[in-house]
Each structure stands twice: as structure tokens, then as C-alpha cells.
Amino acid sequence: MDQNPYRRKPSPISTTTTGGSNPLPTSELLPMKFLSFGTLKLTRTFTTCLILFSVLLAFSMIFHHHPSDPNRVMGFAEARVLDGRDYSNATATNDSNDSDRLLGGLLATGFDEATCLSRYQSSLYRKPSPYKPSPYLLSKLRSYETLHKRCGPGTEPYKKALTQLDQDHIDNNGECKYVVWVSFSGLGNRILSLASVFLYALLTDRVLLVDRGKDMEDLFCEPFPDMSWLLPLDFPLTSQFDGLNQDSSRCYGHMLKNHVVDNDKTLSHLYLHLVHDYGDHDKMFFCQGDQTFIGKVPWLVVKTDNYFVPSLWLIPGFDEELDKLFPQKETVFHHLGRYLFHPTNQVWGLVTRYYEAYLSQADEKIGIQVRVFDVGAGPFQHVMDQISSCTRKEKLLPEVDTVIERSHRLKTPRKHKAVLVTSLNSGYSENLKSMYWEYPTLTGEIIGVHQPSQEGYQQTEKKMHNGKALAEMYLLSMTDSLVTSAWSTFGYVAQGLGGLKPWILYKPENRTAPDPACGRAMSMEPCFHAPPFYDCKAKTGVDTGKLVPHVRHCEDMSWGLKLV
């Protein structure tokens, strides 16, 4: 027996007849050999052509996707075609649709893409926004970028403007004016306040400069081409930032209160205290007459933890310009947030790795952002009851089937929902995870519950804590439906970036779940928590939530204001 199974077998073409008795004459054998050789050659040629054709067809399909192909790289938030691929090159396959890649024209071209992957990759993880920026806004942003490049740090106009800081008053303004945003408060507050100050810069033709604080340059890429938005480390007033308050000598409210504002003189710089604890004199910032004086000052330093955009709409000198910039009033932060805030590569890695590992394969993604203001160690049962009541009543999550035998009768294809929970406490996600593990759902849906981090308590000054927080804001913004907590700026940022109208979990009182547990937001805009209630013309108190139809009181904070 042949012990080598791979030994070459004898040729099936024999030189004998099938009976095996008499050999064929040579004259009959030669035509058969030539026929056999020709057939074999033809077969090899045909096989080679077939292989080459298959390779060419494959390359054609790879590089020439039809626009209707659902698996091409561009498109919906799941970005499933990117599974397991190198994301550093993801944008290269998306050049055929610059409108999506550039967010409808919000983003400028010309950046080094490798230094900030999130800038052009974010569109791969969300459905295209139904809210398009106005042509006027796009033109204004391009004009601002030109101004920022001409007047930014290190330029001649900037150097000349710095010399004015040594003077109490100036005789004439220089070529450029500036507004300096001071890094202050938690990350959600910082993002919202910075967007507000940037809008103010757009309205007043000022250059925005950002105090880098503890971690701003570690969290965000540069948003403007060819010029940094970061305040230089040698800026003369930086050492004073921590001590700025309502009693500072250059605080506008303090100066008004003490009657030392001289309208005939122009100050070299001015401090604007717009923090939640500001007083009535500080709030005069929102009056048109005061803006006339403030507008002459070349250097403004602003400290705020508020999203004060709604009250800018109540200033007569700004309202017409704002109407042209944002015909859809509720899109202010949606557009400015996506324009300004691009996570650095380190933070973007946290976002994409988690998304691909836990969210990308789901048929639907539900975000639940839990922020508890109660004192004491959680999780709290009344908060868990509120989450369950809201998600079931609004049909965001299915009820479970305690009669397990019934689940075997379900024959319809099972839908997979991924639930992303963000909270300082892991108890709420663990409760949901256990429930959907121990019992099947009445609908037959498969529910996966995921929580990226559980930090225990807010750690504002820690870089990694803030990096994870920013990543979670972005992950929440990539969901299809969102539940947020009342009063939480963390949730405001997520809903604005994602263009989502969330269901808001109302703030519990006396550790009791409210009824109803939640309500749908009027718009995706954040709430201004500490607005002024003053009529600048009448010089009297007024309900500023009833002056114009597009500025109303917030659903989660009755005295707050938001755009709708």
C-alpha cells in the first residue's frame, strides 16, 4: 500500500485500449496526445482569464461604490463598514461627499487631518443633520477665520494691542479688538460658555482668545485654520484670572455700581463677570446702551459658566444679525458646537474604540444620561424608578416578560438595542443590565446595556476625568434617542452636538420620583440657568421669557431661558 497519499497518481490517459489487450498504433495515439495537450492549454488559458476578470471586478467594486450602496463608508451613525479598519485613513474614502464631511460647509478645509482625526471623521458616526447652516452663517465663519488669522497671537496687530494694556485709557482703537474667555467651572459649563463668548465675538467683530486653563489644549483641537485660538502663556493679565470677581476694579458691574464709568473715555480693558452669582449691575451687559460703551474697549476679559445665548437675542442691536445667522433659532449650539469643539486624537480614540466595541452593531442606540444632585451615596431607588418609568412610557425600552416560557413563541427577527448609560455611579446601568439579562423582553428585542466609566464623583481638575467626560458626551450625541437629566450641562452638550430633542428626567423632590417622570424638550438648545429679568428701556423688572416667541422658559428650570 502506498504510504504517501500525496504521491502523484498515474495519468488517466492510457496507451492501451479499455480492455487492456492490444496497444494502439502510433498513428492513432498522436492525434489523441495533441488533442489532449490542446484541451489542457485551452483550459488553463480560460482559467487564467477568469481569475483576472474576477480580480478586476473586485477592484472595480471597491473603488467605485454606487451612490445607493448601503455599505459604503459615508453615511449613517453605525459606520459598520469601518469595523476593524484603521481609522486614520477613514476620511480618505469620504472625499466624494464634502457636504457631509464638512458638516454642510461649517468646517473649513486646509487642516492637517492627521493632527485632528475627529474634525472630518465625526460625520461617519452620525446620521446627516437635518439642520443646515445658513449661507450667511457660513460666510460669517469664513470672514471670522480671516480676521483671526490677521489679528491672532503673534501678529503685528496683536502686538500693538498688547501695548494698550499698560494704559488706563486709550485715545483710539487699534486695528483689532479681542475677547478673552477665562477657563472656569466644569467641562459642560465651559463648553457652553465658550460657545456663547464665540457668538458674542462674531456679533462684535472681536477675536476670541481662549485661556488654556488646566486641560483645554489636551481636550480640543484648534478650530481655526492657520492660527491658534489659545491665549499665549505670556499674556500680561493671566496671573489675575483666578482672582477676578464682582469686586475687581475693572469689573464692569462694579464700576457701574460705584459710578466710575466715564462714557467720554475708552478703557484699555474691561472685565465682564457673567458667572451665575452675578448681580444686577453685571447683568447690564445685556442692555444695548451698555453695549455701546463696552464695544469701544479693545480688550474684554470674560468669566462665565452660563450659556447666555438666549439673552443676546433680546438685545436690539444683535437680534437682526442673529436672525440672519440662525433662521432656525434652535440650531445655535448645534452649529457652533460642531464647528468649535473637535476632540483631540487621544479623546477621539476613546470615542471610536468604545463605539465600535459596543454600539456599532446595534439596530438602535439609546442614550441615558444620569446626573443626580441629591446628597449621599447612590444609586437611589427613586432615580432608578424614574428612569424605568420614563423609558417604558415613552417606548424607548421594552418591558420584560416574567413568564419566560412565552418568549419561546416569538418568531419575528429580534431587534438589537444598545443602551449607553453615563453616570458617576454604576448602579443604574447595573440594574438595567441585570433586568434585561434575567428576563426576556415582551417585544423579543435584545437589550445590551453599556457604561463607559463610573468615576464616583466629579473631578473637574483631572485631565483624564475630563477626557472621559468629553468622550461620553460625544458617544451620547451619536445615539438615536436620548434621555437626559434636568439642569445638567453635560446632557445639554450631548443633545446639541447630536441635534437631538431629548426626553428630560425632571428633577426629583424629597427623594420621590416625579410624575410624569420625564417630558420631551421643546428644542435641542441648552438652557440659560441665570438670565436677567430686566427691561433695559423701561428700567424695570420683566419676565424675559415672554418678550419674544422664540425665547421661552426651560422645561427643566422654570426661571431659565432657552431658544425654541
In the numeric block, the cell 500680561 is attached to 236
* pLDDT grade for 19, boundaries at 50, 70 and 90: very low
Under a CB-based contact definition with an 8 Å cutoff, are residues 487 and 556 in contact? yes
The pLDDT of 169-186, averaged and rounded, is 92
Under a CB-based contact definition with an 8 Å cutoff, are residues 193 and 185 in contact? yes
With 80 as the cut, is the pLDDT of residue 369 above it?
A: yes
Higher pLDDT, 213 or 378: 213
Task: For residue 328, give the C-alpha cell.
Answer: 432656525
Higher pLDDT, 289 or 14: 289
Maximum average pLDDT range among 15-24, 268-277, 452-461: 268-277
pLDDT at 86: 40
| Phi/psi of residue 227, nearest 5 degrees | -160, 135
Distances in Å between the Cα of 540 and the Cα atoms of 472, 535, 544 are 43, 5, 11
pTM of the predicted protein model: 0.82
Distances in Å between the Cα of 137 and the Cα atoms of 118, 202, 206, 222, 312 are 22, 10, 16, 20, 16
Task: For residue 192, give the C-alpha cell.
Answer: 457652553
CA distance 487 to 505: 10
The pLDDT of 278-284, averaged and rounded, is 97
pLDDT at 97: 54
Over the stretch 197-252, which tens digit does the pLDDT of each residue have?
999 999 999 999 999 999 999 999 999 999 999 999 999 999 999 999 999 999 99
Stated as kind and residue range, the H or E segment containing 288 is: helix 288-294
Domain boundaries along the sequence of the chain: 108-340, 345-563
Over the stretch 292-340, which tens digit does the pLDDT of each residue have?
999 999 999 999 999 999 999 999 999 999 999 999 999 999 999 999 9
Lowest-confidence segment of 72-76, 194-198, 430-434, 513-517 by average pLDDT:
72-76
pLDDT at 408: 54
* pLDDT grade for 411, boundaries at 50, 70 and 90: low
Under a CB-based contact definition with an 8 Å cutoff, are residues 286 and 314 in contact? yes
Over the stretch 131-153, which tens digit does the pLDDT of each residue have?
999 999 999 999 999 999 999 99
Q: Residue 488, SS3?
A: coil
What is the DSSP code (8-state) at residue 528? B
The pLDDT of 367-373, averaged and rounded, is 96
pLDDT at 409: 57
Q: What is the mean pLDDT of the chain?
A: 85
| Phi/psi of residue 74, nearest 5 degrees | -70, 160
With 60 as the cut, is the pLDDT of residue 14 above it?
A: no
Helix 187-204 to helix 489-498 angle (10° resolution) is 60
pLDDT at 172: 76
| Rounded (10°) CA dihedral 403, 406, 410, 416 | 10
* pLDDT grade for 460, boundaries at 50, 70 and 90: low
pLDDT at 405: 59
Helix 187-204 to helix 332-340 angle (10° resolution) is 100
Q: Among 365, 375, 461, which Cα is nearest to 422's?
A: 365
With 70 as the cut, is the pLDDT of residue 440 above it?
A: yes
Q: Residue 561, SS3?
A: strand
Under a CB-based contact definition with an 8 Å cutoff, are residues 126 and 498 in contact? yes
CA distance 425 to 428: 7
Under a CB-based contact definition with an 8 Å cutoff, are residues 403 and 409 in contact? no
* pLDDT grade for 376, boundaries at 50, 70 and 90: confident
* pLDDT grade for 455, boundaries at 50, 70 and 90: confident
pLDDT at 13: 35
Q: Among 182, 188, 240, which Cα is nearest to 214's?
A: 182
**What order of strands is seen across the sheet that includes strand 446-450?**
446-450, 416-422, 364-369, 481-485, 503-505, 518-520
Select the CATH number that applies to the domain covering 345-563 from these four: 3.90.1170.50, 1.10.3720.10, 3.40.50.11350, 1.10.1040.10.
Answer: 3.40.50.11350
Quick one: residue 7, left, alpha or beta (phi over 0 = left, psi -120 to 50 = alpha)?
beta
Over the stretch 478-501, which tens digit does the pLDDT of each residue have?
999 999 999 999 999 999 999 999
pLDDT at 344: 98
**96: Cβ contacts below 8 Å, ≥ 6 apart:** 74
282 half-sphere exposure, CB direction, 13 A CA radius: 20
